[in-house]
């Protein structure tokens, strides 16, 4: 996510010059309107990033055959749920400073294979691919990698960190510098939080709650510099370490004799490679034969997925009551995707959803 860092920083540099000392940049002083515009731009990029991880994670999850690899499915599902919450938190912060989340547009969806949003110069290529240990180790763990990964007994080593955690910290620093003034005139009706769908998502109304939201995003993905958990009571393992549990094949548990005092020495996490659908990697709707069941299913999935983006756009732009409709569309997507994964593609292997923008269903 190196270029994503650059894009986030560019948004800050474009408009947060009044806080240049906190951000470590030095440019001609800009006015408060430019500062606010830059912060809003950075938060829109953050929303796009949080969303962009969800299709690859879901694709891997859907490729696991029902009733098999249940422990792995549960871990991936928990990460997906929190990524959705992170997207909501980023939307709440943007709304709290007078921004408008832009979700219903084709450019909101990344192209697979390819980098995550803004990562043109990064070496990471993200695929829509069926589950494998290699996929988790070489892609998913890189996405979630902390600034300074903690290495535990029996854990595999990984490449250098590629994370936006440091830039979330810069966003938080800019909010602190701007102070309560940027929250003046906020509309509480644009905050989406709580309930069954988003139990851990909070409303953002001031500097303190904005910083709390950003801390939740960073810590749930990366942990902290001293622990694989966040600093809040009841925090689970960060996403990076949940994925590493799957790679190592064992649960990460407290181990006082080790430094850090954790080790991958808990219960075995079994993996049956024969229980993964041999689905296509990076499917596209036009690749499926015209008139085939797979083409029909893919188009229908993409129409439902686009409908979900439209409803989420409405939800985070002043109509929080639409969240219930969004939940229903998510459930429909799950059913459609699992049906596709069990279906012959007509071009070799099983089918899979392509996560493309399709506002009409042909």
Query: Tens of pLDDT along the chain (362 residues)?
Result: 444 444 454 555 554 444 344 333 334 455 667 778 889 998 998 999 899 999 999 999 999 999 999 999 999 999 999 999 999 999 999 999 999 999 999 999 999 998 877 553 367 899 999 999 999 999 999 888 876 555 555 544 333 333 556 668 888 888 998 899 999 878 999 999 988 889 989 999 999 999 999 998 888 876 555 566 655 545 688 898 899 999 999 998 888 777 778 888 899 999 999 999 999 999 999 999 999 999 999 999 999 999 999 999 999 999 999 999 999 999 999 999 999 999 999 999 999 999 999 999 87
* Residue among 112, 46, 60 at smallest CA distance from 243: 60
* Tokens read off for 303: 């129409």
CB-based burial of residue 254 (10 Å sphere; 0-12 exposed, 13-18 middle, 19+ buried)? exposed
| Boundary of a domain, candidates 256, 276, 296 | 276
Indicate if 60 and 170 belong to the same structural domain: yes
Taking each helix axis from N to C end, the angle separating 207-222 and 239-248, rounded to the nearest 10 degrees, works out to 10
First to last CA, the chain: 36
Domain C-terminal end among 228, 245, 276: 276
Is 357 within a domain? no
Give the pairing of strands 253-254 and 262-263: antiparallel
The whole domain housing 312 covers: 279-352
State the Cα angle at 117 between 113 and 118, rounded to 5°. 115
Helices 293-315 and 323-341: crossing angle in degrees, nearest 10, is 160
Number of domains present in the structure of the chain: 2
Instruction: Please indicate, yes or no, whether residues 221 and 288 belong to a single structural domain of this protein.
Output: no
Tell me, yes or no, whether 59 and 98 share the same domain.
yes
Report d(CA 190, CA 238) in Å as an integer. 28
pLDDT value at residue 26: 38
Question: Do 290 and 261 belong to one domain?
Answer: no
Distance CA 212, CA 133 (A): 33
Same-domain check for residues 48 and 82: yes
What distance in Å separates the CA atoms of residue 325 and residue 307, rounded to the nearest whole number?
Answer: 10
**Residue 27, in any domain of the structure:** yes
Question: Strands, E, within the chain: which ranges?
Answer: 253-254, 262-263
Give the model's pLDDT for residue 18: 41
CB 45 within 8 A of CB 4: yes
Cα(148)–Cα(119) distance, integer angstroms = 20
Instruction: Show which of 245, 276, 307 is a domain's final residue.
Output: 276
CATH number at residue 260: 1.20.1260.10
3-state secondary structure of 359: coil
Kindly state whether residues 256 and 316 are assigned to the same domain: no
**Is 30 in a helix, a strand, or coil?**
coil
Give yes or no: residues 113 and 244 share one domain.
Answer: yes
- Is 182 within 8 Å of 36 (Cβ atoms)? yes
Residues 6+ apart with CB under 8 A from 174: 12, 16, 19, 22, 23, 35, 39
If asked whether residues 270 and 314 sit together in one domain, one would say: no
């Amino acid at each position: 996510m190196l270029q994503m860092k650059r894009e986030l920083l560019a948004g800050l540099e474009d408009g947060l010059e009044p806080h240049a000392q906190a951000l470590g940049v030095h440019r001609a002083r800009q006015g408060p309107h430019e500062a606010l515009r830059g912060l809003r731009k950075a938060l829109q990029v953050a929303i796009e990033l949080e969303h962009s991880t969800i299709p690859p994670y879901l694709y891997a999850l859907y490729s696991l055959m029902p009733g098999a690899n249940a422990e792995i499915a549960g871990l991936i599902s928990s990460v997906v749920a929190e990524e959705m919450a992170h997207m909501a938190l980023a939307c709440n912060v943007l709304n709290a400073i007078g921004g408008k989340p832009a979700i219903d547009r084709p450019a909101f969806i990344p192209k697979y294979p390819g980098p995550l949003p803004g990562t043109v110069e990064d070496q990471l290529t993200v695929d829509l691919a069926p589950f494998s240990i290699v996929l988790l180790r070489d892609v998913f763990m890189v996405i979630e990698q902390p600034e300074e990964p903690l290495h535990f007994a029996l854990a595999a080593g990984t490449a250098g960190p590629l994370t936006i955690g440091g830039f979330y910290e810069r966003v938080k620093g800019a909010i602190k510098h701007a102070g309560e003034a940027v929250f003046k005139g906020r509309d509480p009706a644009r905050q989406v939080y709580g309930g069954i769908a988003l139990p851990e998502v909070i409303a953002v109304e001031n500097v303190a709650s904005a910083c709390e939201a950003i801390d939740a995003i960073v810590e749930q993905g990366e942990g902290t510099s001293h622990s694989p958990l966040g600093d809040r009571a009841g925090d689970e393992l960060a996403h990076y370490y949940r994925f590493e549990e799957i790679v190592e094949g064992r649960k990460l548990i407290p181990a006082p004799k080790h430094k850090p005092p954790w080790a991958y020495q808990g219960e075995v996490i079994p993996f049956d490679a024969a229980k993964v659908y041999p689905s296509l990697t990076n499917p596209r709707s036009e690749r499926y034969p015209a008139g085939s069941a797979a083409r029909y299913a893919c188009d229908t999935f993409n129409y439902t997925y686009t409908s979900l983006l439209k409803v989420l756009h409405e939800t985070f732009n002043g109509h929080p009551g639409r969240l219930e409709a969004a939940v229903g569309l998510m459930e429909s997507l799950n059913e459609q995707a699992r049906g596709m994964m069990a279906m012959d593609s007509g071009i070799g292997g099983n089918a899979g959803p392509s996560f493309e923008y399709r506002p009409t269903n042909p």
